[in-house]
Amino acid sequence: LRLPETLLLSTDCLDSGLYHGPRWRMEPGDLFIPVDSIEEEATLTCDAKSTPPPQYRWSLNGTFINLSLDRRRRLSGGNLIISSLDRYRDVGVYQCMAYNTAGAILSRRAHLKFAYLDHFKVHTRSAVSVREGQGVVLLCGTPTSSGDLTYAWVFNEYPYFVQQDNRRFVSQQTGNLYIAKVEPSDVGNYTCVVMNSVTKGKVHSSPTSLILRTDVLIQAQSDAY
């Protein structure tokens, strides 16, 4: 069920007083849907004018969707309405075709994507030891996700967040926490908190303990920081 090439010819030469090939009133736009809202419907818009009025077909990833026996997807005018959204089956590139006896036009490509944030894989994190006065990086280990993320770190107990200052920095690229010139007051448990700005979902890592190292013998090794 590939797009028939012959239907995609320009419709201009077929226009006459009585018959007009379709022209767009509304083409579909990209959709970025939070996975939590998966019970809701998504609407891909498509509207064209023509004489006689157009009919519509939709393709997903270049393959026509046959809506005749489809329980989840239906047409409303030219709009494609998808219910019971599925993170795997509905993702892809959609295109609308409007056609009548005088011609056919193909819309822009609209991407449908899902935003999500998986949980951290549950495992205990080994303690990180650092000498007083040195620097250390605590890795967040962001879980699989789609959509913009923001990061924060909880120190010991919620809701005490690490306050960024001239010694402490949270990378909003990686989620990692950088602590310079470690002080005894930095000792404790650090939990990475990841928030997805599209889904508003939030997940917590298991804690990493930061401990002070006192062993003088391995100073050369830890000086590598």
Rounded to the nearest whole angstrom, what is the least distance from the CB of residue 187 to ligand NAG in the complex?
7
Contact status, residue 189 vs residue 207, Cβ threshold 8 Å:
yes
Residue 122 in contact with ligand NAG, rule: CB under 6 A: no
Which one, 139 or 212, has the nearer CB to ligand NAG? 212
Of 189, 195, 212, 213, the one binding ligand NAG (CB under 6 A) is: 189
Which one, 176 or 209, has the nearer CB to ligand NAG? 209
Rounded to the nearest whole angstrom, what is the least distance from the CB of residue 223 to ligand NAG in the complex?
26
Site size toward ligand NAG, by CB under 6 A? 13
Task: Tell me which residues in 53-92 interact with ligand NAG (CB under 6 A).
Answer: 60-61, 66, 68-69, 89, 91-92
Contact status, residue 172 vs residue 150, Cβ threshold 8 Å:
yes
Q: Single out the residue of 204, 60, 54, 42 nearest to residue 118, CA to CA.
A: 204
Which pair of tokens denotes residue 117? 């944030």
| Residue nearest ligand NAG (C-beta atom) | 92
- CA torsion 185-191-192-196 (nearest 10°) is -130
Of 7, 169, 174, 188, the one binding ligand NAG (CB under 6 A) is: 188
Distances (CA, A) of 179 to 31, 107, 153, 161: 39, 51, 12, 14
Contact status, residue 137 vs residue 144, Cβ threshold 8 Å:
no
Residue whose tokens read 């009585």: 18
Rounded to the nearest whole angstrom, what is the least distance from the CB of residue 93 to ligand NAG in the complex?
6
Contacting residues toward ligand NAG, per CB under 6 A? 60-61, 66, 68-69, 89, 91-92, 156, 188-189, 207, 209
